[in-house]
Amino acid sequence: MLHAPVKYFFIFLLLFIAVSISFAQIPSGNRPSSTIIETDPSFRLQEAEGGILFLQRLAWEKAQFAVRYMILLERKNEITGVWTEVLRRNVSEEVTNLEVSVPAGQFRYRVMSFNILDQLDSQTSWEEFTVIRAYQPSILSFTPQAFYFDRVNPRILTLIGENLFPDTEIYLISKTNREANGEPLILKAVELHVTELGEIARLIFDEEDLELGKYDIFAKNPGGLETRLGDFTIALAKPFDVNVSGAFAPMLTLFGQKEHFLDKVFLPLSFSARGSFVPFKLWFGNIGAEFNVNWTFLSSEKDDFKSKANLLLFHVNAFYQYMIIPQKIAVNGRLGVGFAGVFNYHFEFNKGKAGEAMNMACFTYNLGASVQWFFFKQVFFEGGIDFIQVIHSEIPMNFFRLGFFAGYQF
């Protein structure tokens, strides 16, 4: 009968031989390799009493004959460049990842696998990663509140906030539009400019990337902290346009009653005011309504007397506009009806006597065209010509009215 020490010696010897034979039969290609570490370990943020806790997740593949792992974590000194061990931890063979809370800095780690004999079986090469200090971004306000496709404005969105850096991810997340995969539509700027203190960010967008809808402005820093603010709007077009303008509008007499007060072909004392309302914006052009008021001074001189009168024209027109160059140059057409009024028409005789003032009114119609140039945002110049026909049996008249307008579009 074997003594106890001898008995345990033989058991240990047999166990050692069995394990050695087993390892000898394992092809070298199946042994744990030195590249089992993920090259880009993930991380997560966790709320804690002191603020946001950053947890770096170290993960590795399970080694076939491992009974435990040892994880070594080192940190690099920013000044000297020397690596210093900050963590050494043993875990069982069932564990294939480890979360560690580390401050900002540069780190490296390796995983060592130990077999049943508690011998080092394999170890990985050092894997480095960098932890960036997490800053909470904030967006306090932004301008403008919307982009309008029919406005000649730069597509620049300016944000006022805190911790907005060059490597901050800032983009628009749609509240209304979705991608083909169901994810919200994201619009990214082609350029991002931030101030040194991270208080102002300017996003420049490409006109072709913009899509109709409402958006949140989203900002995320490299540390993983994020924020968002809405609503920012991208509108296909304003619901309507309102144009107001004034003009020097001299008139040319074509024919009419010239015997008394229309003996001049060119009537320079003439001014006009115009307003249009354009609610319909279609693929073939914009359609609306327009009103026009015009005042012209009429005078005539004969050997024995002078005649003077005020001609007031008022028209309501159907209005059509087509943009030749979007938000820049448009051609306009108009057709309408109205009335003409001749007020305070009177004669002044050489002997100082004045005849009794007379007034008259009649219907008119007009047909016109013009070119509109938006030279500065919504401020425009407009030049055109209108044909005006006065409908009256006793004083038939018609004119060409030239118009040199300056105005603003609301």
What pTM value is reported for the model? 0.48
93 found inside a domain: yes
Residue 318 identity: A
Residue for token pair 């092809």 = 27
**Three-state secondary-structure class, residue 29:** helix
Q: What is the pLDDT of residues 361-403, one digit of tens each?
A: 889 999 999 999 999 988 999 999 999 998 877 666 788 999 9
103 in the same domain as 144: no
Q: What is the pLDDT of residues 15-66, one digit of tens each?
A: 444 444 333 333 333 333 333 323 345 677 776 666 667 778 888 888 888 9
CA–CA distances in Å: residue 247 to residues 271, 310, 320, 382: 6, 17, 19, 9
382 found inside a domain: yes
Domain boundary among 212, 235, 258: 235
Strands 146-148 and 226-235: parallel
Q: Measured between alpha carbons, how far is 252 from 268 in angstroms, rounded to an integer?
A: 9
Strands 329-349 and 266-267: unpaired
Tell me phi and psi for residue 366, to 5 degrees.
-140, 155
180 in the same domain as 108: no
Domain boundary among 80, 114, 131: 131
- Considering only 146-150, 228-232, 390-394, which range has the smallest mean pLDDT? 390-394
307 found inside a domain: yes
- Residue that wins the pLDDT comparison between 31 and 192: 192
309 in the same domain as 382: yes
Question: Kind and range of the H or E element at 9?
Answer: helix 4-24
268 in the same domain as 193: no
Strands of the sheet containing 138-143, edge to edge, are 138-143, 156-162, 200-204, 191-194
CATH number for 327: 2.40.160.20
306 in the same domain as 185: no
104 found inside a domain: yes
List 245's β-bridge partners, or say none: 274, 407
121 found inside a domain: yes
337 in the same domain as 373: yes
Instruction: Work out the pLDDT band at 227, boundaries 50, 70, 90.
Output: very high
CA–CA distances in Å: residue 272 to residues 96, 280, 314, 407: 84, 25, 10, 12
List the domain range (segments joined by +) for residue 195: 138-235
Tell me phi and psi for residue 182, to 5 degrees.
90, -10
297 found inside a domain: yes
- Residue that wins the pLDDT comparison between 357 and 193: 193
Count up the domains in the chain and report the number.
3
List 309's β-bridge partners, or say none: 298
The two tokens of residue 281 are: 């914006």
381 in the same domain as 255: yes
- The dihedral built from the CA positions of residue 368, 373, 378 and 380, taken in this order, carries a sign that is negative
16 found inside a domain: no
277 in the same domain as 193: no
383 in the same domain as 273: yes
Average pLDDT over residues 5-14: 50
Residue for token pair 């958006």 = 215
Asked if the model's pLDDT at residue 118 lies above 60, the reply is yes
Q: Measured between alpha carbons, how far is 344 from 297 in angstroms, rounded to an integer?
A: 11
Asked if the model's pLDDT at residue 231 lies above 80, the reply is yes
337 found inside a domain: yes
363 in the same domain as 250: yes
Before 144, cis peptide (omega within 30)? yes
Percent of the chain clearing pLDDT 70 (strictly above): 81
Q: What is the mean pLDDT of the chain?
A: 83
Domain boundary among 75, 103, 131: 131
How many Cβ atoms sit within 10 Å of the Cβ of residue 151? 16
Q: Measured between alpha carbons, how far is 267 from 311 in angstroms, rounded to an integer?
A: 11
Q: Which of 321, 353, 330, 342 is nearest to 395 (CA)?
A: 342
Percent of the chain clearing pLDDT 90 (strictly above): 46
110 in the same domain as 144: no
Going by the DSSP 8-state scheme, the letter that residue 60 receives in this structure is: B
CATH number for 53: 2.60.40.10
Asked if the model's pLDDT at residue 76 lies above 60, the reply is yes
Q: Which of 239, 235, 240, 241 is nearest to 155 (CA)?
A: 235
380 in the same domain as 272: yes
Under a CB-based contact definition with an 8 Å cutoff, are residues 303 and 279 in contact?
A: no
